[in-house]
Amino acid sequence: MRIGHLSILVDDQDKALAFYTGVLGFTKKTEIPLGEHRWLTVVSPEDPDGVELVLEPDQHPAAVAFKKALVADGIPFTMFGVPDVPAEHERLTGLGVTFTQAPMTMGAMTTAVFDDTCGNLIQIVAPAA
């Protein structure tokens, strides 16, 4: 067994696709119309056959409440690995991304947290230098 897909709940699939590809640098992998929404996935260009991130509409009332509670408590929905958190923080800040936590080393890991513009906080993480 392996992880093939991982969903992230987004408030707008078009906005999410623009952010996750145009800002974060992921590549669109799948787009299948499903009525009002789409099966829409992105992948890392470094691993195009790896885990697909599903940009899942947050239309269920529980999803909206869940996301708001996480953001209110400052809890990231998920995390992405990067080689260098301070460098990625600088790159993303230059692209207008809002961080809620600047790079911080905690033991063996360095992390930072940003707002994905779609209702989620996302953590980036790398081994501490």
CB atoms within 10 A of CB 16: 25
pLDDT digits (tens, 9 = 90+) for 36-84: 999 999 999 999 999 999 999 999 999 999 999 999 999 999 999 999 9
Over residues 77-116, the pLDDT tens digits come to: 999 999 999 999 999 999 999 999 999 999 999 999 999 9
Helices and strands (H, E) in the chain, number of each type:
3, 8
| Cα–Cα distance, 96 to 109 (Å, whole number) | 25
Q: Which domains, from first to last, does the chain contain?
A: 5-127 (3.10.180.10)
Q: What is the pLDDT of residue 75?
A: 97
